[in-house]
Amino acid sequence: MVLFLPTQVLDMKKLIFSILCFTGLQTFAQTDSANTIPVVVYKDFRLDILASKEAELNVAAAKAAARTGMGYRLQVLSTNDRELAMKTKTQLLQKFPEQKPYMYYQAPYVHLTFGNFTTKQEAEMYKSQISRMLGGASVYILSQRIEIKPEKEIKDDTNK
């Protein structure tokens, strides 16, 4: 069994401390500016093209995100008859070319929503016209994230 006396422990601490300081100084001594070899980096020109395209995509994504907001759409149809949904979508496009119909599938139903309305009054106006066009069918107003056209943003800003 080895016993260390307090003076030996103190001497051991000094020894370890001096070793650590010496190795620390040696690591800084490795930077000698007289023996530097210039490093040449060859960059592929396609990286610049890729970076510029990525920047353009980021700008386009930011603009697209800015063109969405909360608004209203009309749920015109919810059925499992895809042909009926396509026929109704065609009728809506013919009668209201200024608005956009959206058709999506959520098993087992095909949902047909219509329009990008910023106000509920605008949605109510189209709701009554579409209900009459479909022979009194129920049309519901949904609060959803909609696409806001830049013209509508400009008109809204000038009215304020």
Domain layout of the chain by residue ranges: 69-159
Q: CA angle, 89 as apex, 86 and 94 as ends, to 5°?
A: 125
> Which stretch of DSSP H or E encloses residue 38?
none
pLDDT in tens, 97-132: 999 999 999 989 999 999 999 999 999 999 999 999
Burial of 55 (C-beta count, 10 Å sphere; 0-12/13-18/19+): exposed
| Phi and psi torsions of 23, nearest 5° | -70, -35
**DSSP label of 90:** H
Question: Rounded distance, CA 52 to CA 32, Å?
Answer: 39
Burial of 149 (C-beta count, 10 Å sphere; 0-12/13-18/19+): middle
CATH 3.40.50.720 at 69-159, yes or no: no
pLDDT in tens, 55-106: 999 998 887 776 888 999 999 999 999 999 999 999 999 999 999 999 999 9
